[in-house]
């Protein structure tokens, strides 16, 4: 597909991109240098709404020790570590990262899932009250558009793991009222709703009977159904039940990671497209590249053993230097080009109407590819897509139009059903 696009770009040498000049102005794509392409990519990132389907900042704040009695992690300023903060978001053109209200699977067994969800929602809300000139909540596309015009970063929320629903369908409406606009049905283990891609027990053989009712109630309430993390059987069951399009908020193409059920197989991507849904590409190295995935497992085991032998922690300067050198030599990171390969593959399967960005920033640790290490680097991906012949209009679909379409369809269905 990418070669077809390259030939097409040679046959159609004029790529029209708005650069703040007269709308009739055009740029001859075939004459652009690397620096000019990057300038175009930055301009597009800054002047187009950009949505990311999954950023794990709330749990990063929890792990960092935030409580209501302590100072919140100051992501209004550039932070050390992590992948997200306001300055870097501004540099990268990110306007609406879905804040992941992440519930580890252990809370399904030990209890407390709903309480943890509430605390993470409260942390997200506090970002907007602490820095109201920088952050604002958003419950739908119209609010994101309004915040974009006001120069604020929107913080829509999605809940990763349906465990906080517990065994009570009324909690779906409760979390809608709290601002949740998608729910990832499972996480690392099977739960009351259905089976997980990471589990091997196949508790329900797909959706449970309760899970069927959960999907129906999410449709009725206006919460998008997120099929990232579910087993293949659960995925197909969801498509049988849902009356509206569904999303994969942070998954990639299994074509590049054979056997990795957490990603989506080609047939699943085609079914998702028939449903009208969107797959939002995960940037994590283990999601985008099989060689890195296999090498990462081996490198992780070596590093754990090396740290133990040398009585060091990952935070020690000596350890950080060793880890960086070891990984570079033994398991080099994939590049931004590999992420673009996933776009090419999926576009070849189903066209450009079913793709978005779902980075998993702050959630995939130190596995991110070169050129996409944090939220400041989205223009690198956009530049790569421009090089491959994607138009401004197609990139706008990836940035926000595709996910807005699904979001609006889900909201419209809920309104008609009420």
* Token duo for residue 310: 């040398």
Q: Provide the terminal-to-terminal Cα distance of the chain, rounded to the nearest Å.
A: 43
pTM above 0.85, yes or no: yes
CA distance readout (Å), 40 to 12, 14, 43, 46: 18, 14, 5, 10
Instruction: Say what the pLDDT of residue 13 is.
Output: 38
Catalogue all structural domains in the chain, each as residue range(s) with its CATH number: 2-10+35-289+334-417 (3.20.20.140)
pLDDT of residue 49: 98
Torsional sign, CA 286, 289, 294, 295: negative
Return the pLDDT at 418: 80
pLDDT value of position 404: 98
pLDDT for position 18: 37
Count CB-CB contacts under 10 A for residue 416: 7
| Cβ–Cβ < 8 Å for 56, 361 | yes
Q: Cα torsion at 373, 374, 376, 382 (round to 10°)?
A: 60
Residue 16 has a pLDDT of 38
Are 216 and 194 within 8 A, CB to CB? no
Exposed, middle or buried: residue 340 (CB in 10 Å: 0-12, 13-18, 19+)? buried
Structure confidence at residue 273 (pLDDT): 98
Helix axes 232-241, 209-221, angle to 10 degrees: 50
Mean pLDDT by runs of 10 across the 418 residues of the chain is 41 38 46 90 97 96 62 82 96 98 94 96 95 97 98 98 98 98 97 97 97 98 98 98 98 97 98 98 96 86 90 87 84 92 98 98 94 98 96 97 98 94
Say how far apart CA 322 and CA 136 lie, in whole Å. Answer: 41
């Amino acid at each position: 597909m990418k070669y077809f696009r390259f030939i097409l770009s040679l046959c159609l040498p004029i790529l029209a991109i708005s650069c703040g000049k007269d709308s009739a102005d055009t740029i001859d794509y075939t004459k652009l240098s690397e620096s000019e392409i990057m300038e175009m990519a930055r301009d597009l990132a800054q002047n187009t709404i950009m949505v990311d389907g999954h950023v794990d900042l709330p749990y990063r704040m929890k792990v960092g020790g935030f409580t209501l009695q302590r100072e919140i992690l100051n992501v209004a300023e550039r932070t050390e570590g992590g992948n997200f903060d306001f300055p870097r978001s501004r540099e990268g053109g990110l306007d609406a990262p879905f804040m992941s209200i992440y519930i580890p699977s252990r809370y399904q067994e030990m209890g407390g899932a709903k309480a943890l969800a509430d605390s993470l929602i409260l942390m997200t809300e506090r970002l907007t009250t602490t820095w109201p000139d920088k952050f604002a909540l958003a419950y739908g596309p119209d609010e994101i558009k309004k915040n974009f015009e006001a120069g604020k970063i929107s913080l829509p929320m999605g809940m990763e793991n349906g465990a906080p629903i517990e065994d009570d369908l009324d909690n779906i409406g409760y979390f809608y009222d709290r601002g949740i606009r998608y729910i990832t049905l499972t996480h690392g283990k099977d739960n009351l709703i259905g089976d997980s891609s990471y589990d091997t027990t196949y508790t329900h053989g797909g959706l449970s009977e309760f899970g069927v009712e959960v999907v129906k109630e999410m449709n009725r309430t206006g919460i998008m159904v997120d099929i990232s993390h579910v087993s293949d059987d659960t995925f197909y069951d969801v498509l049988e039940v849902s009356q509206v399009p569904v999303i994969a908020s942070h998954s990639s193409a299994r074509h590049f990671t054979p056997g990795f059920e957490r990603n989506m197989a080609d047939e699943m991507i085609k079914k998702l497209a028939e449903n009208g849904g969107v797959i939002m590409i995960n940037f994590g190295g283990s999601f985008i590249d099989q060689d890195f995935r296999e090498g990462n497992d081996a490198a992780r085991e070596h590093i754990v053993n090396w740290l133990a032998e040398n009585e060091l922690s990952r935070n020690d300067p000596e350890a950080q230097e060793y880890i960086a050198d070891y990984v570079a030599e033994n398991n080099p990171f994939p590049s931004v080009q590999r992420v673009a390969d996933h776009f090419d593959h999926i576009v070849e399967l189903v066209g450009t109407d079913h793709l978005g960005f779902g980075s998993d920033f702050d959630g995939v640790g130190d596995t991110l590819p070169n050129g996409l290490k944090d939220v400041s680097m989205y223009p690198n991906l956009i530049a790569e897509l421009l090089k491959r012949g994607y138009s401004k209009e197609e990139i706008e679909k990836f940035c926000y139009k595709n996910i807005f379409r699904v979001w609006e369809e889900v909201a419209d269905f809920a309104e008609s059903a009420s």
